[in-house]
Structure 1
């Protein structure tokens, strides 16, 4: 029997949306590469890593319900001292919001393969359930991922770095699906004539839809603002930016997400332990040198900003 605080648990999700207008190419590669790093460098047991991809031979497709089921199970199993990790590579989006706590009237969300959006409210709810003393690190290589844990404290945010010209040897596709495209996709399935995305999601997915659409706004606004919680978000970009999916032209080139790849480079070049702040700062520098116009961000408590990436406290 394992002692309290000895577990390292992970959920890795890669969505390529193959054979759709929203197809990406590097997302599954991203989480496969991270799985190897978790095992080889950070001591995760293979049996403690759940992998969800939309590959044709996948046993569990990364639908909204299945992703939340895996995350809920991971949080439910957690004990003080455990390390929880969620890596998402795929599309992200922003949806209109009337909530008072959002001055820009936008909520951030990831886009599972069935378009059952998982929002910043859902991630806040998960983080609030993490046992005190465990850590829940989220790395989201998706567009508009800054702020993906609702109300989390910003440690590294907007940057004034000037972008370099991006290399033309790769095909770059932003990992974003517009609100209008998502609304059109959902309304074509419900045949309901409304621009309220929540109506469509609740009709299609019922209780599996995001809390963002099933709870009244005054309840959403009252979800605790906890700066000293144990949630840690490494986002691929700022909330108003897109993250890049790279598909190299050259023969044998391997597709990848720009942020996931930058983190891989940082970890390969620095064999010693790195803090969460160091990982994000170094990944920013890698992307800047490569010419990308996205700026990774860090959201966490002050203590966790300086704690070691994926290490037990």
Structure 2
């Protein structure tokens, strides 16, 4: 029976890398490299089939650009195809932002439209019982993209908490942050609206594709069930994620993506979600970067094997 279940189990992934090359203010360098490297890891280590992995990048000629609408529709299609027992994975490398008016974390699509925790909650709620949905977000302010109800590994879950000296990041470790004022100014220049909140700008620009956070601002979203999502975030909600300090001849990479892949390379056996995050923290610390990867999920998923590696 167990063998039959393993045979029928599907492993599906959506990998998104946004470099934002068409906008000098928001441009990043290593995000596309992150998801291409992750694709190789998923195939070689976790048994994902290439035709079950969808990659969205903003390079020229990309068949599907990673706009917020395309990211959400691709995730919804993956969830719609899933069945109990399946393994679903979403890896995002790009900009994150804290929406101050809502005190809510979000990621930025290539078009600078946001996908908020409310949007992710809506997507994850469609995952069937018995399937797992894991999000690995290499972006700023990413410590609450699914739900904040259960923080398994937070900013102070290490022995030296309170006494730890926060390192100054190397000057060549690019921050993956967008100041709220920058985004607001950019949107205002397009919409010509004077609003100090980004919601009217997004509703004007993106219409039906704007975030549910703006369209349902007066509705309190229902909490997720205990087993409906696993979030590995590159930093806590008030921190900035960064790139690996660049070295000559080394392709640019996001620090958290690089750290997770380093951990998986150094530990070939199964690792729990908790172990992946704690070991990734050690890699980040060696890079002298002031960010603390976090884990958000129910108690059972914290010690479950990452992507159900057998």
Aligned to 1:234: 232
Moved more, 141-150 or 274-283: 141-150
Q: How does 1:175-194 map to 2 (within 5 A)?
A: 175-194=176-195
Comparing 83-92 with 148-157, greater Cα deviation is found at 148-157
Number of aligned residues = 299
Question: Which residue number corresponds to residue 62 of structure 1?
Answer: 66
Alignment equivalent of 2:97, drawn from 51, 72, 93:
93
Give the deviation of 1:307 after TM superposition: 0.3
In the superposition, the TM-score normalised over structure 1's length comes to 0.91
Q: Give TM-score scaled by structure 2 length.
A: 0.92
Match of 1:80 among 76, 84, 100: 84
The residue aligned with 2:223 is: 225
The aligned residue for residue 243 of structure 1 is: 241
**Alignment counterpart, residue 11 of structure 1, candidates 14, 17, 33:** 14
In structure 2, the residue matched to 1:52 is 56
Cα shift readout 1:1-38 (whole Å, capped 9, x = no counterpart) = x9795111100000111142211111000000000000
Find 2:35's aligned residue among 31, 36, 60. Answer: 31
Would you say the 8 A contact 1:8–1:84 is kept in 2? yes
Which residue of 300, 303, 310 corresponds with 1:303?
Answer: 300
Return 5+ residue gaps in structure 1 as ranges: 99-105
What pairs up with 1:143-292 in 2 under 5 angstroms?
143-159=140-156, 160=161, 161-164=164-167, 166-167=169-170, 171-217=172-218, 219=219, 221=220, 223-226=221-224, 228-246=226-244, 248-250=246-248, 252-292=249-289
For residue 102 of structure 1, what is the aligned residue in structure 2?
Answer: none
SS at 1:86's partner residue? strand
- Runs of 5+ unmatched residues, structure 2: none
Provide the secondary structure at the position in 2 that maps to 1:51. Answer: strand
Query: What secondary structure is seen at the aligned counterpart in 1 of 2:271?
Result: coil
The structure carrying a bigger strand percent of its residues is 1
8 A Cα contact 1:187 1:200, kept in partner: yes
